[in-house]
Structure 1
Amino acid sequence: MNKIWKINKKAPKSFLNKFPEYSELTLQLLWDRGLKTQKAIDEFFNPDYDEDLHDPFLLKDIKKAIKRIEKAAINKEKVAIFADYDADGICGAVLLTEVLKIFKIKPEVYIPDRNLEGYGLNLNAIKKLGKEGVSLILTIDCGMSDFEEVKLANKLGIDVILIDHHEILNKTPSAFAIINPKQKDCKYPFKYLSATGVAFKLAQAISKEKSWEKWLLDLVAISIVTDSMLLLGENRTLVNYGLVVLSQTKRAGLKALMKKARIDETNLNTYVLGFILGPRINAASRVDHGTIAYKLLIAFDKNQAEKIAQQLEEKNQQRQQLTKKILREARQRALKHYQKKKIIIEGDKNWLTGMAGLIAQRLRDEFWRPCFIYQEIDDFSTGSARTIPGFNLVKALSQCGKFLEDYGGHAEAAGFKVLNKNLNNFQDLLEKIAQKEIKKENLIPYLDIDVEVESDDLDWPIFKEIQKFEPFGSANLNPSFLIKELKVLEIRSVGSNGNHLKLFLEKETKKFKAIGFGLADFCDKIQIGDKVDIVFELIVNEWNGTKELQLKIIDLKKS
């Protein structure tokens, strides 16, 4: 699908003049990221653990939660952690397990089956924990929409502490305590923590040995990146330090996983977290059970860790094969009618619920429409949704509440459960909401471009400036540039399947190599001698001990 290229507005001269110590490129990138004050810029370029992290006691109910945990320790109560099955939930469960060790509490950890139980607390799990004598449940990365489940827990004499970061609906469950910075009356200034990040604030609040909690930052960094949280403000500091901790991690499980994935521990970045470690941790629950990933992350025995890491490697390969199969089937269905509708909603009894979010994201990216993917299991359909800018999923799902059994999540990514008999009504109402809220121009994808550059700009100094903006992630993407009228000297399709594009280009006697991952289709659209405009990221290609700058193509058009 053709994209509209949007070059960001130039930073005003008053801003450029205010910070003469920085180059115009750096200031433009800062402006694009909303970093416009000396304080914001200093925090961005010089993350400081002691200065940048907010007081954990600003979180509503955190003191109440700590007192309840202390009471449980004194009375030797049975405590359970109820964790979501994704990387954020799993990392949070491991973190809370270590926090509870301070109180000499050995919790039971309950991670629901993604494909059978679905997201969040469930009544059967609460009953099971009640029968086992649990009197306190700490949730992690779930619970904000589980009203009946919390009500049942209260009835069974179980106190519930909700530790979460998801959007809050009109009301909150009747939990003993809720630690979520998104509560309206919560004074915590940074609202974009991951759930593991929220749990980390609990660790920070109770840590008796100064800086002990820093060793938890490897888990926090993984959770922030895999959950696509904003990489600005406090999150940027947490990830910066988290990458350092990960390079020295004491966790045999993470060491084994990095070894299996052939990761260089001395060269860690957010790509490693988001595209290598994260998918392997998530693969456990997508095709099997999240407990496998939990056991890996708490493992301190090297041999055991290596066995589980091998398991996860195999699960990830299985996940990749399933993704290809389901994506192919879902895409064929979507192609039949997507142009007539403003949303895509597809499901099948053979599509695992655990794969729904991945498939929804891929279809959203290709067709640029909100996408809902589900699996039919008995009388219910359970799935995930991903959206485009301007269509709030939680808001839309709340308007469909009369047809839903459960829903929750974020504005951009959400989950839902619906009775099959209500599926058609749910689909019709969703489409009706989308027709009203999504304008025609919203259905054309756009590509944000930071700066237009000339051939002389592309050298090592500009690359070193870009490096200062790492770690990259949500709201702080690797800068994208536009260069026009490059002459095509050579065209190749490369890669094991020939699905990548390699170009040799020239402008004003300066030659460039460019790589476009998954863009081999352009081989049929351009010819040697053509002039092209390219949107790209500047990367380093290392080969046989040599390094050279290369253009990583995001999109291209004929000049």
Structure 2
Amino acid sequence: MRWNFHSKPNPSAVRHLMDVLQVDELVANLLVQRGITSYEEAKAFFRPTLNDLHNPYLMKDMEQAVFRIEQAINNRENILVFGDYDVDGTTAVSLMASYLRSFYPNVATYIPDRYAEGYGVSYQGIDFAEDNGMTLIIALDCGIKSIDHVNYAKAKGIDFIICDHHRPGDTLPDAVAVLDPKRDDCSYPYDELCGCGVGFKLIQALSERRGQTILDLIPYLDLVATAIAADIVPITGENRVLAKFGLQVINENPRAGIKALLTQVKKSELTITDVVFIIAPRINAAGRIQHGNAAVSLLTEMNLEQAVQFAADIEQHNKDRRELDKTITEEALRQIQDLNETERFTTVVYQENWHKGVIGIVASRLTETYYRPTIVFTKSGDKLAASARSVKDFDLYEALEACSEHLIQFGGHKYAAGMTLYEENYPAFKAAFEEVVKKTIDPNLLIPEIAVDAEIQFSEITPKLMRLLKQFEPFGPGNMTPTFLAQSVYDTGYGKRIGSDETHLKLNLKQGVSETLGAVGFGLGEKLKLTQNRQKIDAVFCLDENEFNGSVTLQLRLKDLQHHND
């Protein structure tokens, strides 16, 4: 692991915050690192309010979108809400459909089949709209590159409103409105919204015209927070507000579908991380194993009893997904070994019978193992389809653009993307992708990085500090859980490997004459030898709380250990 220490923040900014906030230097340092340098910024960070949300009409084409929806309602048109099959897409469809249905009945939903239709707006979906007399499609989390599809729909007398957050191409689709804060000509103040977040801005604009306030939209924020967590967008600015209040809804009064998913969870209060690992995979599992419609049915269901039944079905899909994920990951790792490709700059693997629904998860697993830009291909009809994942700070999208001559289509973000190509082009693409990454990547990026925020002494680790750090939540990209370095610590002799396969580490650490602190390191079992015979070590960790028999104690969640060099 590569320990990357955060540069020292501006000392005068730190002193100013210490003075106006009455906090110690450590906390002031952490705030300045997050771009917070004034009392007003600190207040917005620690006490976000729904009034901090931007005016939705600042987004380009919002007036046109609202006007067209109002026109459709006044003319009693049938509206189709269309979205992708992942968490962002299905939550966005559930959000838009449930809001519109609260005052207008002629609203249907459509999620494309992952296998028959693939990602994004589909011709089948447009044909479905035509067959059912629908004259307006609202596309969420997709559509920014669907130029031919929008023209196809227009020829059939069907209008499009696009709510997307992916990077646009050189030409925008000829839709009635294209809502995307990443448009070059859009001056909306925040461009890191997820697809569901863009959908939320549209219902916010609609609600203002209907005389509602932001308080009327709070019940929809559980969906927005789930999408923000699952789509790994920065939890800064507007996303931070939406995530914070959405988490409150999830913990206090979630919709029936989310409540049903949480019936098995033994946690008093969920964090964004819990949403990522508990709620999101289950919603995703529907689209991966069965059909994304199952997720929309769950998330729009008002009756808890029915929702519990939907959730039970989805739980089974999730178990199936985990089995497939495990099997395919093992096969992919064997393929890399058999092809003797462990020293490459990229990982690109293909097997025609791998389940398309889990190749994205497998790509993430392979990235964890070899830590390099990774693409996993499978057969999809007469083409190959793939999911790609990147390493920190390497722009995968740009690398794919450089190889696009070999692809039929591709789309996505800096860190995750999808693509299709003809099978005969696979070897040429694989070679080209390796060459592009080899030429453009900084070799340091191929070593996993731990970003260290600050050095800390054990004497500074107190319940008061923990209470302050909790106010930094919700954590996520752009506001990660603070990571600390403690030097010259040692295990008091009770260190051991734990877990059924002994891959984890449990220590009792001491520094000088400080009190002993318990520490757990997941996946660090191999590091036990560093800690024996009271050897001095340096530890990088986050602060955590351990609940046991009703009592709560502070503990360290270890990220890495190294020998201490005097």
TM-score by length of 2: 0.94
Paired residues for 1:118-129 under 5 Å: 118-129=118-129
Structure 1 unaligned regions, length at least 5: none
Which amino acid counterpart does residue 213 of structure 1 have in structure 2? Answer: L
Please give the per-residue CA displacement for 1:47-89, whole angstroms capped at 9, x wherever unaligned: 0111x11000001111101111112112222211111111111
What corresponds to 2:326 in structure 1?
324
**Aligned equivalents of 2:26 and 2:280: distance in 1?**
32
State the alpha-carbon separation in 1 of the partners of residues 388 and 537 from structure 2.
36
Deviation string 1:282-302 (CA, Å, 9 cap, x unpaired) is 111122211111111111112
Instruction: Give the residue type in structure 1 aligned to 2:519.
Output: A
Task: State how 1:284-299 maps to structure 2 within 5 Å.
Answer: 284-299=286-301
Aligned ranges 1:112-511 → 2 under 5 Å: 112-207=112-207, 208=210, 209-210=212-213, 211-249=215-253, 251-264=255-268, 267-335=269-337, 336-488=339-491, 489-509=493-513, 510-511=515-516
Alpha-carbon distance change, 103 to 299 in structure 1, aligned in 2, over 3 angstroms: closer
What is aligned with 1:15? 13
SS where residue 85 of structure 2 aligns? coil
Deviation at 1:390, TM superposition (A): 4.1
Match of 1:33 in 2: 34
How many angstroms apart in 2 are the aligned matches of 1:416 and 1:206? 35
The one-character-per-residue Cα deviations of 1:366-413 (angstroms, maximum 9, x if unpaired) are: 222111112112321112111124432222222322222221111111
C-alpha deviation, 1:155, in angstroms: 1.7
| Structure 2 Cα separation of the partners of residues 72 and 198 of structure 1 | 20
2:50 aligns to what? Answer: 49
Instruction: Compare 456-465 and 328-337 and name the one that shifted more.
Output: 328-337
Mean Cα deviation higher: 221-230 or 391-400? 391-400
Does residue 513 (structure 1) correspond to residue 511 (structure 2)? The answer is: no
- In structure 2, what is the Cα distance between the partners aligned to 1:343 and 1:361? 13
Partners of 1:495 and 1:184 lie apart in 2 by: 50
* Alignment counterpart, residue 550 of structure 2, candidates 529, 542, 545: 545
- Larger deviation, residues 367-376 vs 55-64: 367-376
Separation (CA, whole Å) in 2 of partners of 1:308 and 1:480: 39
Amino acid at match of 1:279: P
Q: Distance in 1 between matches of 2:551 and 2:103?
A: 52
Please give the alpha-carbon distance, in whole angstroms, between the structure 2 residues aligned to 1:419 and 1:539: 49
Distance 2:218 2:280 in 1: 20
1:526 positional shift: 4.6
Please state whether the residue corresponding to 2:364 is helix, strand or coil: helix
Deviations 1:152-180 (A, max 9, x none): 11222211111111112222222221011
- Distance apart, 1:333 and its partner CA: 2.5
CA spacing shift, 1:413–1:342, aligned 2, 3 Å: same
Distance in 2 (CA, whole Å) between partners of 1:291 and 1:30 is 42
Give the conservation status (yes or no) of the 8 Å contact 1:485–1:531. Answer: yes
For 2:3, which of 5, 11, 32 is the aligned residue? 5
Q: In the TM superposition, what is the alpha-carbon distance from 1:414 to its structure 2 partner? A: 1.0
The answer on whether the counterparts of 1:115 and 1:352 sit within 8 Å (CA) in structure 2 is: no
Q: Secondary structure at the match of 2:185?
A: coil
5+ unaligned residues in a row in structure 2: which ranges? none
Distance 1:535 1:498 in 2: 21
User: SS of the residue aligned with 1:60?
Assistant: coil
How many angstroms does 1:12 deviate by? 2.1
SS at match of 1:193: coil
Residues 499, 520 of structure 1: 8 Å contact kept: yes
- Per mean C-alpha deviation after superposition, the further-off stretch among 168-177 and 407-416 is 168-177
The C-alpha deviation readout for 1:416-459, integer Å capped at 9, x for no partner, is 11111111122122122112211323322221101111121122
Give the letter aligned to residue 22 of structure 1.
Answer: V
Given that residues 530 and 537 in structure 2 are in contact (C-alpha distance below 8 angstroms), is that contact kept between their aligned partners in structure 1?
A: no
Q: Is 1:30–1:36's contact at 8 Å kept on the other side of the alignment?
A: yes
Q: 1:526 and 1:113, CA in 2 relative to 1: closer, same or farther beyond 3 A?
A: farther
Alignment partner of 1:527: what SS? helix
Match of 1:235, SS state, is helix
Deviation at 1:41, TM superposition (A): 2.2
| Equivalent-residue separation in structure 1 for 2:533 and 2:331 (angstroms) | 36
**How far apart, CA to CA, are the structure 1 residues paired with 2:391 and 2:155?**
41
Asked whether the equivalents of residues 73 and 103 of structure 1 are also in contact (C-alpha less than 8 Å), the reply is no
2:93 is the alignment partner of 1:108: no
Contact kept, 8 Å, 1:97 with 1:106, in 2: the verdict is no
Contact 1:472 1:478 (8 Å CA) reproduced: yes
Q: Secondary structure at the match of 1:112?
A: coil
Q: For 1:323-348, what per-residue CA distance to the aligned partner results, in whole angstroms no more than 9, with x for missing partners?
A: 22111122223345444421111121
Instruction: Indicate the RMSD between aligned Cα atoms, in angstroms.
Output: 1.8
**Which amino acid is 2:240 matched to?**
R
Shift of 1:351: 1.8
Instruction: Name the CA distance, whole Å, in 2 between partners of 1:198 and 1:449.
Output: 33
